């Protein structure tokens, strides 16, 4: 099976038209991949920002709780 795919009859002849078509396919694939990665990176950034905000809120509330307990103890 592996040898079947390496035979030259499965690949088009390397003429100018085929080379240009292959370059267009690579460019199209690269652009779509870059857009997808940009969307993924933005989603990851938003998620990390939400987690950081959530942590800072919980830290603020825990600090407020410890200050309240100190005041009550006095």
- Please provide the distance, in angstroms rounded to a whole number, between the alpha carbons at the two ends of the chain: 82
pLDDT in tens, 45-55: 999 999 999 88
Dist. CA 20–CA 10, nearest whole Å? 18
- Please compute the mean of the pLDDT values over residues 11-28 and round it to a whole number: 88
- Please compute the mean of the pLDDT values over residues 11-35 and round it to a whole number: 90
**CA–CA distances in Å: residue 68 to residues 51, 55, 71, 73:** 26, 20, 5, 9
Reply yes or no on whether the pLDDT at 20 is more than 70. yes
Q: What angle do CA 45, 51, 52 make, to 5 degrees?
A: 85
> pTM of the predicted model, to two decimals?
0.50
Reply yes or no on whether the pLDDT at 70 is more than 70. no
Instruction: Grade residue 39 by pLDDT with cuts at 50, 70 and 90.
Output: very high
Listed by start position, the domains of the chain span 9-73
């Amino acid at each position: 099976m592996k040898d079947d795919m390496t035979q030259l009859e499965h690949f088009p002849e390397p003429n100018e038209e085929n080379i240009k078509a292959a370059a267009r396919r690579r460019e199209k694939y690269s652009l779509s991949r870059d857009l997808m990665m940009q969307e993924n990176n933005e989603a990851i950034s938003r998620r990390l920002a939400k987690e950081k905000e959530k942590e800072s809120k919980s830290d603020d509330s825990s600090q407020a709780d410890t200050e309240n307990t100190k005041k009550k103890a006095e």
